[in-house]
Chains A and B, each alone.
Chain A
Amino acid sequence: MTTGTGTGPDPVTINPLDPVTLERERRELQRSWSPGPGLWGWLTNVDHKSVAVRYIVTAFVFFLLGGIQAGLMRLQLARPENRLLGPDEYSQIFSTHGTTMMFLFAVPIVTAVGLYLVPLMIGTRNVAFPRLNLYGYYVYLIGGALLYTGLLLNTGPEAGWFSYVPLSGPEFSPGKRSDVYAQTVTFTEISALITSVEIIVTVFKQRAPGMSLNRIPLFVWAQLVAAFMIMFAMPWVATASMFLAMDRLVGTHLFNPAEGGDPLLWQHLFWFFGHPEVYIIFVPALGFVSSIVSGMTGRPIFGYPIMVVALVVTGFMSFGLWVHHMFATGIPQLSESFFSAMSMMIAIPTGVQIFCWTATIWSGRPRFRVPFLFVLGFVVVFIIGGFTGVMVASVPYDVQAHDTFFVVAHLHYVLLGGMVFPLFGAAYYWLPKVTGRMLDERLGRWHFWLFFIGVNLTFFPMHQLGLDGMTRRVYTYLPETGWGPLNLVASLGALTIAASVAVFLVNLVRSRRGGAPAGDDPWDGPTLEWATSSPPPPYNFHLLPTVRSRTPLWKRESDAPVVTGLRTDMREILVTTMLDAEPDNRMRLPEPTIWPLLAALATGVTFIALIFTPWGLPIGAVLITVAFIGWGWPSPKEHELQLREEREG
């Protein structure tokens, strides 16, 4: 071990270590980075991989729950004047479906894939703030549990995931339904903000030596852009949900026109978050696609700089579109024109990326495995959503399409095409890394084709239904409208989607039980996550890698330097400079502790109490303060580590 070199941060050397030392180091790393034993160890585990897997599993469960709600809606709408669901149940179900899919599934799962892969791709051992990361997960879990407890107690949200006032205000939504919605949103915003902080700091300060900004994988760029978008978008909806809670709890009248408030204020706040939100979901998925295309064609993505610029431009532009959700409110025409133009022009960066992928595929050697099929499906389905997006961006066209099933079709093409297809592709591509076992190829093809057919069967007819006069969020329709047949087709499509997801679940179980072993690098991938074992050890890499190109694993050199000199008897990581990733410093990451869980519980008590009484605030302030003091209090082990660090200089 080459410690004791003082503070001079030059831990990069050519690997001189002999096998005995290596083995000892490996054992030490294992001991330092492993979670504690048993349930306690599980509850306190701050490993980014463990937290990310929990996020992914939880979010996937919410996806299934949201899917069941979608299925119920499709059953109800399968024929006119159906009596399966009444308007009250239908309102709660469609509101919970939207809230679940946007807040509890889409954003958490795409950022969680980042939490898992980003540290591996940039060659570090954990995220920058491991305890905060765990706290974020628990807060998210409490938020989701709140929503579903509410739904089971007949107190699910009833005014849509967009929850427009005054319908969600104290006068028209008595009871606690909209409060459950508002606090669920608050919880998930906290967790999303935490994830974004983790990603940004980890990417900027912990990259492997040599991974200058222009060598970061596109996946990581996408996560970084999305993280910045979260930081700027989420505070708006947290503000909005807090305002709503205040209107309902302490009578602030912020949205009450009779007292000088404004219902449109809610819409501006909500959509100023809500439109970037769509791109927060979509941009990480673009990163999935870039990784899969590159891995599956065996060549680097064509036009890397353009791809990065496209991601960044998408991030900026996505903040200039929100008013296109409000074209029917009677906003002055001149400002509508601006938002109309922005909404159309955001198609350019996405178009450019599709062209670059096409060029990559053209000049590469595509392998038609399941992840690649999902990429092809993504392009086909997503661009249909893109075209209808340009249409509804046109103010006059939107007059007809707005708030009809045309928009339902559009948004599902965009979100399923733009995010769920890449996500399934990512599952087939990266789950072997996570579990060490491959998913079955034949079942995967069934999954893909059923899903592709199901999505189109469900949502394509909805374009026609919308233009035929069927508005959104209706619990039933009259037989005389003639909307029955197309609705039936859509419902059959929903069944097909359900079948495809069932195939995926079977595939997951079978892979878990006896899937083919994956090995470290089943796809011959270009980026660092494939350089470690599957599943990766708690410390990610025994010898932290350095990189000299964007595709380090394709240009493996026998003399490639590795990072040595980091302590292995404590959780130490290498800090590098922001632009060029030159070794800069060493940092000890904190040990596991129960305090993130306790702090999350204190946060949960606070926000849930605030549904019922303003006293939640002072009580919660005390609880949270105590929790954070406990969090910062060094444990005996940490105290000893600190002393040792100081002694050794």
Chain B
Amino acid sequence: MQFPGEHSAHGPAGPQALLLDRLGDLLYGIAAVVFVLVVTALLVAAFRRRPNGEGMDDPARERRMAMAVASAAGATVATLVAVLFLSFGSGKRLTGTPPPDAIQIRVTGRQWFWDVEYRDSLPSRWATTANEIHVPVGRPVVFQLRSTDVIHSFWVPNLGVKRDMIPGQETSIWFQADTPGVYRGQCAEFCGYQHAKMSFLVVAEPPDRFAVWLDRQRDTARTPTDSLARRGQEVFLASTCVMCHAIQGTPAGSRVGPNLTHLASRRTIAAGTLPNTRGHLAGWIIDPQQIKPGVRMPPNALAPDDLQALLAYLESLR
């Protein structure tokens, strides 16, 4: 599934998510058994046939009931303690220190998109993108999570990670993807108008393809070769676009909105809301408020020629 990406806690794609899925199955099983026992006891107690002349306060029966209640309470305690230690065990396996060879990815939650940075010891090799996070399969990944406005929460159900992004503090969480695929993530903490459409994709791919992708992301944007795209670049640089967006290799360097350096390489636009096609892109540029009411991007009344040129330029940003 390319769009919108897989998004179920029941489709684990890594060891953490698998652990959580198994823990969940176990808990459902226990709950189902206890539910049947309790409800059966209740219904039998209510509907059982009562022999004629059965007294209400037979001391022997009161003693038997005391035993039954005590045993049921004991069983409850035993079950809960078992569940608790199961939970502790899973928690311990989930939150150990990440291995030293882990990849570090810094994700910043913004109203309403995700700013993604791959840092390196050499700042010239940093790569910045938005709303699409590529990771190699079989290798641990550490996410450093932060927010610069309100609280967001970073959640990828298939990978079993969720962690709040809280302004003023940086948290981190690590996981590993074992199965290649495209997994959808979603902001889980209410963050304002477009909380509903604040998604992203995690693309788990073989290490060699990941390396190729990352190298490409580190590059600056290529200068367009054909004339239409060149004109599109002029439109971009001469319009309000540059107030918010950055394209490395051009004078546009603002970090208010998503970085567009390799926009055309992404699968979606508007934070996982639309497939990245020419038509959707055009609609989004002209009237983003129609698609995500309240979003920070203003409408852009571009002349048809300018729009076509701009689209050609943006589509060249591979």
Contacts and interface: CB of A to CB of B under 8 A. Distances in A.
B149 A347 contact: no
Contacts of B43: 376
A403 B91 contact: no
A467 B76 contact: no
A471 B190 CA distance: 9
A391 to B, nearest CB: 5
Contacts of B187: 471
Interface residues of A, number: 78
A581 to B, nearest CB: 25
Given A359-B69, A396-B91, A468 B8 contact: yes
A384 interface: yes
A356 interface: yes
Nearest to A471: B188
Interface in B157-178: 157, 160-164, 166-169, 171, 173
A362 B189 CA distance: 46
A306 B65 CA distance: 13
B69 A397 contact: no
Interface stretch (B18-26, B125-133, B240-248): B18-26
A402 B45 contact: no
Given A395-B91, A476-B196, A363 B62 contact: yes
Interface string B133-145: 0000000000000
A168 to B, nearest CB: 9
Contacts of B273: 478
A86 interface: yes
Contacts of B68: 355, 359
Contacts of A351: 72-73, 76
B280 interface: no
A159 interface: yes
B197 to A, nearest CB: 8
Interface string A285-324: 0000000000000110011001000000000000000000
B45 to A, nearest CB: 4
B184 A469 contact: yes
Contacts of A578: none
A379 B42 contact: yes
A393 B167 CA distance: 25
Interface stretch (B81-89, B116-124, B205-213, B254-262): B81-89
A538 interface: no
Given A390-B27, A475-B196, A396 B94 contact: yes
Interface in A392-430: 393-397, 399-400, 402-404
A88 B293 contact: yes
* Chain B interface bracket (under 10, 10 to 19, 20 to 34, 35 or more): 35 or more
Contacts of A354: 38, 42
B190 A160 contact: yes
Contacts of A634: none
Q: Which of B8, B87, B111, B193 has the most CB of A within 10 A?
A: B87
B95 A480 contact: no
Contacts of A262: 168
Contact of B73 (A298, A348, A362, A400): A348
A472 interface: yes
A223 interface: no
A303 B39 CA distance: 20
B153 interface: yes
Contact of B87 (A329, A340, A358, A468): A340
A231 interface: no
B100 to A, nearest CB: 20
B162 A399 contact: yes
Contacts of B45: 358-359, 361-362
Contacts of A348: 73, 76-77, 80
Given A400-B24, A473-B195, A87 B76 contact: no
A475 B194 CA distance: 8
A589 interface: no
A64 interface: no
Given A172-B150, A395-B91, A87 B164 contact: no
Contacts of B73: 348, 351-352, 355
B231 interface: no
A383 B79 CA distance: 15
B4 to A, nearest CB: 5
B66 interface: yes
Interface string A253-264: 000011000111
B171 A330 contact: yes
A474 interface: yes
A366 interface: yes
A469 B87 contact: no
Contacts of B38: 354, 358, 379, 383
A337 B193 contact: no
B69 A257 contact: no
Q: Which of B169, B196, B294 has the most CB of A within 10 A?
A: B196
A333 interface: yes
Interface in A461-487: 467-469, 471-478, 480-481
Contacts of B192: 91, 167, 172
Given A469-B7, A469-B184, A394 B163 contact: no
A364 interface: yes
Contacts of A643: none
A333 B95 contact: yes
A364 B166 CA distance: 55
Contacts of B66: 303
A376 B42 contact: yes
A24 interface: no
B84 A403 contact: no
A605 interface: no
A46 to B, nearest CB: 41
Contact of A394 (B48, B83, B111): B83
Contact of B31 (A303, A380, A391, A474): A391
Contacts of B31: 387-388, 390-391
B19 A172 contact: no
Contacts of A17: none
Given A258-B168, A365-B50, A396-B90, A330 B61 contact: no
Given A88-B293, A345-B80, A364 B195 contact: no
B108 interface: no
B84 A364 contact: no
A56 to B, nearest CB: 29
A402 B162 contact: yes
Contact of B190 (A365, A472, A478): A472
Contact of A467 (B39, B86, B88, B157): B157
Q: Which of B10, B168, B186 has the most CB of A within 10 A?
A: B168
Contact of A355 (B8, B69, B196): B69
Contacts of A395: 87, 91
A473 B190 contact: yes
Contact of B293 (A86, A390, A391): A86
B8 A467 contact: yes
B20 A400 contact: yes
Interface in B44-82: 44-46, 48, 50, 56-58, 61-62, 65-66, 68-69, 72-73, 76-77, 80
B281 interface: no
A164 interface: yes
8 contacts: A258-B167, A302-B62, A345-B80, A348-B80, A359-B65, A397-B87, A472-B190, A477-B196
Top 6 A-B pairs, shortest CB-CB distance = A257-B168, A469-B7, A474-B196, A394-B87, A362-B45, A387-B31
Interface of A: 86-88, 91, 159-160, 164, 166-167, 172, 257-258, 262-264, 298-299, 302-303, 306, 328-330, 333, 336-337, 340-341, 344-345, 347-348, 351-352, 354-356, 358-359, 361-366, 368, 376, 379-380, 383-384, 387-388, 390-391, 393-397, 399-400, 402-404, 467-469, 471-478, 480-481
Given A167-B191, A298-B56, A391-B27, 16 more contacts: A167-B151, A258-B167, A329-B164, A329-B171, A341-B84, A347-B80, A361-B46, A366-B46, A379-B39, A391-B31, A399-B160, A400-B9, A403-B189, A468-B10, A473-B196, A476-B196
